[in-house]
Amino acid sequence: RKVIFSGIQPTGIPHLGNYLGALKQWKHLQDTASPDTKLIYCIVDLHAITVPRERGLLTQNKREMLAALLAIGLDPTRSTIFHQSSVPAHSELQWILSCTASTGYLSRMTQWKSKLQSQSPSDTATTTTTTSHPALKHGLFSYPILQAADILLHRATHVPVGDDQRQHLEFARECVTNFNHTYAASVFAPPSTILSPARRVMSLRDPTQKMSKSDPNPASAIFITDDADTVRKKIKHAVTDSENAVGYDPEGRKGVANLLEMVGHLTGQSAEEIAGDMKGMGLGALKGRVVEVVEGELGPIRERYAEVVGREGYLREVAEVGGARARESAEETMRLVREATELGGEC
């Protein structure tokens, strides 16, 4: 049976990178999946507590993320939408997988290495150990095991994500091999990665960096609830280059290429085609086109978001129903895991 699973951190309103790289694909899969395909979308609050935050913010972020997922068109009667912490088996399976996961592999993960580097004096970055950095928490190190547990707990066959999650997916497949080998079992099967065509949307302020929720400059990203005026201003000020003519050169003209690709992902054309259609035009015209297609896509989402975010009772109900369905799905797997590991048996 086909099972589609994916997750997003409740660390703020999703941006155009999250939307084009993942959420639009989630909705597309929902709308095109055969009736017997299971669709599970998770708001990963346990992953979000790996970084410090003020009291109250997580609750707010979780509610806003749920509202955003409904606003982009996920249907809670078709897709299971839930908060990760409402299914304790995510943490339980994480521990069990951690007992067969390799620390060597984890320490080579690029996300961990970049965290390590950003916390270390640059000249010692590659040699320092984690023990000398009190700001580096173990949760950041074992983060990929929890992500593998998310996926395997629901025995996902397909995981739609953006490019930055590819390595985490490879690690999840490694967890499958380690677990099945250790317990001479075939409880898990390796999940496939589904990369959307928009695998890496870049920052509007620095087109060499990916658009990111953790970027402190809000002008670097378009959030899916930004109003029309904000969208227009952010795109107008997007960093491009000094050549005032539309042309697609993903290596030499990264800022312009990012804008062309955005239009392409929203209209279904290729970036080359759009550049061809706009040949001879200036960058102002290209930015105008970006504003038009982004606004066309986000306008209705923004309206639905405003309508749903205040309906606290409804949001709670959606989360409760989703949580109950996800616990059921988890329990099927945990029965097999407990049997394989002798953790659930009678003594």
201 binds ligand TYM (CB under 6 A): yes
Smallest distance, ligand TYM to C-beta of residue 152, A: 10
Task: Please report, for residues 96, 143, 152, 286, the alpha-carbon distance to residue 55 in angstroms, rounded to integers and kept in the order given.
Answer: 30, 22, 31, 42
Note the Cα 159 to chain centre separation in Å. 10
9 binds ligand TYM (CB under 6 A): yes
**Interactions with ligand TYM, residue window 38-97 (CB under 6 A):** 44, 47
Q: Could you say which of 4, 66, 81, 161 contacts ligand TYM (CB under 6 A)?
A: 161
- Helix residue ranges, H only, 33-165: 45-48, 57-71, 89-98, 103-107, 110-119, 138-153
Smallest distance, ligand TYM to C-beta of residue 251, A: 18
Smallest distance, ligand TYM to C-beta of residue 16, A: 8
Q: Could you say which of 4, 12, 13, 18 contacts ligand TYM (CB under 6 A)?
A: 18
Task: Please report, for residues 16, 95, 181, 221, 287, the alpha-carbon distance to residue 239 in angstroms, rounded to integers and kept in the order given.
Answer: 16, 44, 50, 12, 11
17 binds ligand TYM (CB under 6 A): yes
147 binds ligand TYM (CB under 6 A): yes
What residues contact 110, with CB distance under 8 A and at least 6 apart? 167
Smallest distance, ligand TYM to C-beta of residue 15, A: 7
Smallest distance, ligand TYM to C-beta of residue 295, A: 20
DSSP notation for 320-345: HHHHHHHHHHHHHHHHHHHHHHTSSS
Q: Could you say which of 8, 101, 116, 290 contacts ligand TYM (CB under 6 A)?
A: 8
- Is the Cβ of residue 37 or residue 128 nearer to ligand TYM in the bound state? 37
Phi and psi angles of residue 285, each rounded to the nearest 5 degrees, phi first: -65, -40
**Interactions with ligand TYM, residue window 268-307 (CB under 6 A):** none
Name residue 340's amino acid.
A
- Per CB under 6 A, the segment of 59-67, 126-134, 146-154, 325-333 that binds ligand TYM is 146-154
- Catalytic site includes residue 210: yes
Phi and psi angles of residue 85, each rounded to the nearest 5 degrees, phi first: -70, -10
Q: How far apart are CA 294 and CA 16, in angstroms?
A: 9
Q: Could you say which of 37, 85, 119, 164 contacts ligand TYM (CB under 6 A)?
A: 164
**Interactions with ligand TYM, residue window 205-234 (CB under 6 A):** 210-211
Smallest distance, ligand TYM to C-beta of residue 175, A: 12
Residues composing the chain? 347
Q: How far apart are CA 27 and CA 151, in angstroms?
A: 18
- Per CB under 6 A, the segment of 102-110, 147-155, 290-298, 308-316 that binds ligand TYM is 147-155
E-strand stretches of 95-251? 158-161, 192-195
Q: Which of 213, 233, 279, 287 is catalytic?
A: 213
- Catalytic site includes residue 113: no
Q: How far apart are CA 48 and CA 46, in angstroms?
A: 5
Burial class from Cβ neighbours inside 10 Å (0-12, 13-18, 19+) for residue 184 reads exposed
Q: Could you say which of 4, 12, 13, 22 contacts ligand TYM (CB under 6 A)?
A: 22
Which residues participate in catalysis according to the annotation? 115, 210, 213
Contacts to ligand TYM by CB under 6 A? 6-9, 17-18, 21-22, 44, 47, 147, 150-151, 159, 161-162, 164-165, 168, 198-201, 210-211
